[in-house]
Amino acid sequence: MPDESVRPFRILVLCTGNSARSQIAEALLYAHGGARVEVESAGSRPAARVNPYAIEVLRQHGITWEGRRPKSIDDVMGHHFDLVITVCDNARDACPYFPGAGAQAHWGLPDPAEETDPDAARRAFRETYNALASRVDALLTLPLEDLDPEALRGAVQAVHEA
Which three-class secondary structure string do you get for the chain? CCCCCCCCEEEEEEECCCCCHHHHHHHHHHHHHHHHEEEEEEECCCCCCCCHHHHHHHHHCCCCCCCCCCCEHHHHCCCCEEEEEECCHHHHHHCCCCCCEEEEEECCCCCHHHCCCHHHHHHHHHHHHHHHHHHHHHHHHCCHHHCCHHHHHHHHHHHHHC
Instruction: Flag whether 122 is in a domain.
Output: yes
159 found inside a domain: no
Q: Which of 11, 12, 13, 15 does the annotation list as catalytic?
A: 15
Report pLDDT for 101. Answer: 84
Count structural domains, the chain.
Answer: 1
Q: Note whether residue 157 is domain-resident.
A: no
pLDDT score at 162: 84
For the chain (length 162 residues), average pLDDT per consecutive 10? 71 94 97 96 94 98 96 92 88 60 91 94 98 98 95 96 88
In a domain? residue 104 = yes
**Catalytic position from the list 57, 95, 103, 147:** 95
Residue 98 maps to a domain: yes
Kindly report the pTM of this predicted structure. 0.92
Query: What's residue 6's pLDDT?
Result: 76
* 40 found inside a domain: yes
Out of 88, 109, 131, 159, the active site residue is 88
Whether 95 is catalytic is yes
* CATH number of the domain where residue 85 is located: 3.40.50.2300
* Residue 101 resides in a domain: yes
- Rounded to whole angstroms, the Cα distance separating 115 from 53 reads 11
Domain that holds residue 133: 9-151
Q: Is 143 part of the annotated catalytic residue set?
A: no
Q: Is residue 14 part of a domain?
A: yes
